[in-house]
Amino acid sequence: GRDFIDLLVYFYSVKDLKDFYKNYVRHHEIPDHGFQFHRLTWYTAELLNIVKKYHCLVVLPHPDTRKPKNSYKFFNKRKEMITHIDAIEGINSLITRKSNLVAIGWAESLGKSITGSSDAHMPLQIGKAVTCGTSETISGFLDDIRKQRHKVVGQEVGLINKFTTTYKIFKRNWAEWNS
């Protein structure tokens, strides 16, 4: 959103995804100057109200990350908004173990489902952390997450991998900023 908070929205149908993109993402992106934040003109509260119109699962990624994307601090100041969140990412392979443990503890204290993600910025990171389920359909898988009938497996990548990723992200953004 406009206030730098990331949301992962998983739609139960392609039709809803296309509709959401057409009406609320396309033509609503804020141009970035320098680092790519991929922000929209909507504030987080507005986005959460918009996605309520759709059958979807809303996940907070990397909640205990650096400013300005620290959703842990953001939502603790706006507790009424957390009811719109279905799950919290508890294992993000690019985040520190300490931050992941904060995310897991927060999710558990709220009774929220926990997900895992590689946050892959490079191909070798894909699959370092994943959310697993036994359902054979997208809707069944999303329902499993919502009802906490899934597993999360994975771990953080090593320090060298984190530095390499940070460097590549910075380098890509620097090149785009100077083009």
Q: Do 90 and 104 contact (CB within 8 A), yes or no?
A: yes
Q: Is the pLDDT at 34 greater than 90, yes or no?
A: no
Q: Nearest CA to 29 among 37, 20, 40?
A: 40
Q: Is the pLDDT at 102 greater than 60, yes or no?
A: yes
Place 161 in a pLDDT band, splitting at 50, 70 and 90: confident
| pTM > 0.95 | no
Per-residue CA distances from 23 to 5, 16, 44, 128 (Å): 20, 10, 16, 34
Per-residue CA distances from 133 to 93, 126, 141, 153 (Å): 19, 18, 6, 11
Q: Do 136 and 99 contact (CB within 8 A), yes or no?
A: no
Q: Do 127 and 118 contact (CB within 8 A), yes or no?
A: yes
Q: Using alpha carbons only, what angle is made at residue 81 by residues 79 and 47, rounded to the nearest 5 degrees?
A: 155
Q: What per-residue confidence (pLDDT) applies to 69? A: 76
Q: What per-residue confidence (pLDDT) applies to 39? A: 67
Place 21 in a pLDDT band, splitting at 50, 70 and 90: very high
